[in-house]
Structure 1
Amino acid sequence: MTTDTPTAAFPTLEDWQHWTLVMGRAQQMLLEAWADSWKSGEPAPGLKLPPAPDPMAMMTAGAEAWSKGLAAWGQMLGGIQQAGSQKDKRFAAPEWRDHPVYDTIRQTYLAISDQMMKSVDEADGLDEEARQRLRFVTKGVIDAMSPSNFALTNPEVLKATLESRGENLLNGLRHMLDDMRAGQLSQVPKGAYEVGRNLATTPGKVIHETPLYQLIHYAPVTETVLETPLVIFPPWINRYYILDLTPEKSFVRWCVENGISLFMVSWKSADESVRDITLDDYVLRGQVDAIDTVRDLLGVEAVNVIGYCVAGTTLAATLALLAARGEADKVASATFFTAQVDFSEAGDLKLFLGPETMALLDQLSADTGLIDGRIMAATFNQLRGRDLLWNYVVNNYLLGKEPPPFDLLHWNGDVTNLPAGWHRDYLVSLYQENKLVEPGGIIVDGTPIDLTKIATPLYIQAGREDHIAPPQSVWKLMDHVPGDKRFVLAGSGHIAGVVNPPSAGKYQHWINEGEPKSLEEFIEGAREVKGSWWPDWLAWLRRRNPKEVPATGARVPGEGKLKPIEDAPGRYVRTR
């Protein structure tokens, strides 16, 4: 059998000896994994190996069987035409086109995929919610059944298996067992990144600490800084350093280099000490406390604030609370990164809020009152299963390769635990019942919340391809909050649309200086600007608060009344 054209061949004695050794090593690895699991008390990996086959004959037979099965599907769906012109990186290797069997598999699979998705869109008797759910499930099934995901129907895997004489499968099994022990799919090589070494390295000090968060004050690098400081609230479902990745991608470093006195909240990964916290805690003992701490430290009347994703949702509640209490002047401006307040069009995440999911969350958190962050990570990965799940199944387990280093995906896998009660209330009160946009629908510390009372100037950023906070959902903040607002639509999605430094020269953004009444009107009259939207935001911020002061005294971490607790990035970001 050649590596270019798989055909059956009679195995030699040497072949049999080699593949018997391969299967024996695989069995040894499984036995060792089971032994480790017995020692730790964890369930053993439920894997069974078949008897050692003739690998070459089995590979060819499997591919041909798959091809015939796809053809049968095509006949059942009405004799669909093959879709050879489609581009798909799963089938980028030349073998998918050069070999007639695999070319047929590829074309037929893509055609069937198109037909199945078209059938969902044309199905009668479905309301939009049911259609969206069916569309998501169908896409998940299609992605899972891709021939690229199976060793016997992926020519790249067959070629690697022959060339390495099975070492790729042994390496893949080793990777899979390691991931099973960790309870999480690996998306970056182990040891490639470390917080404080090559991530989250912007110099600063932790100058304030509560059971819920640490407050990091970053060291200035310019002689003068904006008088009004900036406090950033990242989402507590992830680590804050998404905004302080490698130096060339760091929003934090870029802000400091542009003369901003910057403070970052680093939320604590939930443990039993904070298992019972609620919205009141995140608003009062989180966001309001951080705002007041910075105001008092620097002796300023107001601060600028940023809320990212779910922290932006609670920031809207914080602003409404301050307005209701006559304290709105504590915040000079507020910026929202991909944040939602109206969840009527909240996207695919709403598909995970059925009674079965809620019951499962209750079951998983019954003993500890906490939700393991790996559950949330798996949920977000399912939203982009082709790229964030199956891509790594093929690369890590079938090809036996290490995944390439990627700082963003390291962050994606650096999960945080969540307080189960508060997380459930968030999903029910906001995603399901959409109470935040009802005046008085949410009560914080005894005060009814009304978003229409917010008069703080707002900068609202959305991502055009955001699958977590869709732009049409983010736009609704424009409808519910009156006053001075600027909306910017960024290229890319929930993360890359935000973390897009000007130096990268990537993507684009759209601005509209008119007064559009909807996202559609915004897009219709928008002007495209190449590159990052960060400079637009900085110009907006400086127009509102242009005064600068010397970067001395309390503007230097530890030089004011709050003494350093430890160096940035602090302990909380490292705890799991």
Structure 2
Amino acid sequence: MHDAPQHGPRPLPLFLDMLREQTAASPERRAAALAGLKAYQEAPRARKRRLAPARFRRGRARLRDYGGTGRPVIFVPSLINPPFILDLAPQNSLLRWCSEQGLHPYLLDWGDPTPADRDLDATAHVERILLPLIARFDAPPLLVGYCLGGTLALAAAATGAVAGVALIATPWHFAGFSGGRLAIGELWGAAKPSCAAIGLVPMEVLQTGFWRLDPERTIAKYEAFGRMEPGSAGWQGFIALEDWANAGAPLPYAVGRQVFEDFVGGDLTGTGGWRVAGHTVDPHTLPCPSVEFVSLTDRIVPKESAADLADRRDLGSGHVGMIVGGRARAQLWEPLADWLKHA
């Protein structure tokens, strides 16, 4: 598991600077947010989760087996942030729930890249990791891709290697990021020289970009946490989710370059220019059944960036809430499982 080295927002100095800016006119808010931050840092953590066993391996990647007797389904998480958002807690795990619904889920754990992986871009992650793991199955499995993992899953589906693909909060038309593309480009321009030097894109670079999307909300949630009843379900859920958000391995440099320059900057995918394993990736000519679940309130992957498949299901929950929020089971889990069983 990719554990955060500290119990606190990463990078902490930037978070504190943002806190000072957002609460400059309100000492009371600043005190409340700092109290919430302190409570989060000092909250006791349960023992580390036991990861599901690895069924197949490909380099640093593992395909973790969650059991079940139904159709095999590979869940492909984003390369950004750890994969365990899909298995956040025993009582809030899409994967463990699916294993009880007549499906056999597997989780692709991308592992921790090193500088030796610097030239492995997003295309190579599909060609050298995802497709070889898919080939280990006796019959084509189903794929479920979340966030950028959905972009990669769609590319794998375009090769004809899978029985069906479901996308969750997946960016495809990166032009749909609109004005956010400029901010992302500026962030990458500042970080690129250092990332090129080390061969990796540190998680802190990505987190900085996420915070810029909504700094007010980033601070407000710590204010709210400081008022929660310790030990309550909401209190425990906040800790689990923030520990996930503040964990994560770096990206190989080539992934950062391709995503920030070719995808976000050039909309390579949305303009039909992305080729993977000899195939042009076109979401509207896939050789298998497909569905996408789109959040209408997503601050990270705007609805305008969706692939806009023929079978598109719009949801009211946000980017993370649609996976682990209070309405996740009714809005996403149940219709997803139903689609997977009948695809």
Q: Output the TM-score relative to the length of structure 2.
A: 0.81
Q: How does 1:448-527 map to 2 (within 5 A)?
A: 448-474=280-306, 476-478=307-309, 485-500=310-325, 504=326, 506=327
Instruction: Write the deviation string for residues 204-229 of structure 1: whole angstroms up to 9, x where unpaired.
Output: 31122222411111233xxxx22x31
Q: Secondary structure at the match of 1:208?
A: strand
- Residue by residue over 1:127-185, the C-alpha shift from the partner in whole angstroms, topping out at 9 and shown as x without a partner, is xxxxxxxxxxxxx999725523xx3xx2894xx9xxxxxxx99x89x96xxxxxxxxxx
Find the counterpart in structure 2 of residue 217 from structure 1.
65
1:422 aligns to what?
Answer: 255
Q: What per-residue deviation string (whole Å, max 9, x for no partner) do you get for residues 528-548 of structure 1?
A: xxx43322222222223xxxx
C-alpha distance after superposition, 1:447-476 (max 9, x if no partner) = 5444443132112101121011122322x4
Cα deviations across residues 341-395 of structure 1 (Å, max 9, x unaligned)?
Answer: 11121256424233x4233121321431111112212221222212223654898
Q: Kindly, what percent of the aligned residue pairs are identical?
A: 22
| Alpha-carbon spacing, 1:409–1:535, altered in 2? closer, same or farther (3 Å) | same
Query: In the alignment, residue 85 of structure 2 is paired with which amino acid?
Result: I
Match of 1:437? 270
Cα-to-partner distance string for 1:247-280 (whole Å, 9 max, x where unaligned): 1110011001112112110012221221221233
Where 1:459 maps in the other structure, the secondary structure is strand
- From 331, 334, 338, the equivalent of 2:169 is 338
How far off its partner does 1:336 sit?
Answer: 0.2
What is the CA–CA distance in structure 2 between the aligned matches of 1:306 and 1:252, rounded to whole Å?
11
Give the corresponding residue for 1:205.
53
1:192 aligns with 2:45: yes
Q: Cα 1:194–1:411, aligned 2, differ >3 Å: closer, same or farther?
A: farther
Q: How does 1:94-133 map onto structure 2 within 5 Å?
A: none
Aligned CA distance change for structure 1 residues 240 and 188 (closer, same or farther; 3 Å):
farther
Say if 2:219 is the partner of 1:380: no
Whether the 8 Å contact between 1:340 and 1:477 is mirrored in structure 2 is no
Query: Residue 435 of structure 1: SS of its match in structure 2?
Result: coil
Q: Distance in 2 between matches of 1:447 and 1:394?
A: 48
Conservation of the 8 A alpha-carbon contact between 1:233 and 1:308: yes
Alpha-carbon shift at residue 233 of structure 1 (Å): 0.5
Superposition pairs for residues 282-321 of structure 1, below 5 Å? 282-293=125-136, 295=137, 299=138, 301-320=139-158
Opposite residue 334 of structure 1, the aligned amino acid is V
Task: Work out which of the two has the higher radius of gyration on C-alpha atoms and give 1 or 2.
Answer: 1
Distance 1:219 1:349 in 2: 40
Residues 275, 245 of structure 1: alpha-carbon distance in 2 compared, 3 angstrom cutoff: same
Are residues 277 and 270 of structure 1, via their aligned partners in 2, closer, same or farther at CA, if it must alter by over 3 Å? same
1:405-439 CA distance string (max 9 Å, x none): 42111111112201122211111111111121334
C-alpha spacing 1:193/1:236, structure 2 compared with 1 (3 Å): farther
Does 2:341 align with 1:542?
yes
Following the alignment from structure 2 to structure 1, what is the Cα–Cα distance between the partners of residues 225 and 321? 23
1:385-424 alignment runs, 5 A limit: 385-389=215-219, 391-392=221-222, 404-405=235-236, 406=238, 407-424=240-257
Within the candidate set 240, 260, 269, 2:112 is matched to 269
Question: Residues 434 and 194 (structure 1 numbering): CA distance in 2 closer, same or farther, change over 3 Å?
Answer: farther
Paired position in structure 2 for 1:563: none
Contact 1:234/1:307 (<8 A) preserved: yes
Of the three residues 357, 369, 378, the one matched with 2:199 is 369
Structure number with the bigger relative contact order (C-alpha 8 A, sep ≥ 6) is 2
Q: What does residue 4 of structure 2 align with?
A: none
Are residues 193 and 272 of structure 1, via their aligned partners in 2, closer, same or farther at CA, if it must alter by over 3 Å?
Answer: farther
CA distance in 1, matches of 2:87, 2:242: 14
Query: Equivalents in 2 of 1:291, 1:239: separation in Å?
Result: 21
CA contact (8 A) 1:316 1:341 kept: no
Distance 1:353 1:499, change over 3 A: same
Q: Check conservation: 2:58, 2:133, Cα contact below 8 A.
A: no
Q: TM-score, normalised by structure 1?
A: 0.50
C-alpha distance after superposition, 1:282-331 (max 9, x if no partner):
111222112112x1xxx3x22111111111112222222x1xxxxx2x31
Which amino acid in the other structure matches residue 367 of structure 1?
A
Moved more, 458-467 or 272-281: 272-281
Contact 2:83 2:109 in 1 (8 A): yes
Q: Which residue of 1 aligns with 2:6?
A: none
Q: Distance in 2 between matches of 1:464 and 1:195?
A: 34
Contiguous gaps of at least 5 residues in structure 2: 1-12
User: Any idea what the Cα deviations from partners look like across 1:12-64, whole Å, max 9, x if unmatched?
Assistant: xxxxxxxxxxxxxxxxxxxxxxxxxxxxxxxxx9xxxxxxxxxxxxxxxxxxx
CA distance in 1, matches of 2:221, 2:24: 11
Relative to structure 1, is the Cα distance of residues 391 and 536 closer, same or farther in structure 2, using a 3 angstrom cutoff?
closer
Counterpart for residue 7 of structure 2? none
CA distance in 2, matches of 1:338, 1:251: 15
Indicate if the aligned counterparts of 2:73 and 2:141 stay in contact, CA closer than 8 A.
yes
Quote the Cα distance in structure 2 between the aligned partners of 1:305 and 1:188.
Answer: 36
What stretches of structure 1 of length at least 5 have no aligned partner? 1-44, 46-139, 161-167, 176-185, 323-327, 479-484, 509-530, 545-576
What do residues 500-539 of structure 1 show as CA deviations (whole Å, max 9, x unaligned)? Answer: 4xxx5x379xxxxxxxxxxxxxxxxxxxxxx433222222
Is this contact kept in 1: 2:157–2:164, CA < 8 A? no
CA contact (8 A) 1:374 1:415 kept: no
Report if the CA contact (8 A) 1:507-1:532 is conserved: yes
Give 1:20-31 correspondences, 5 Å limit.
Answer: none
- Paired with 2:298 and 2:88, the residues of 1 have a C-alpha distance of 20
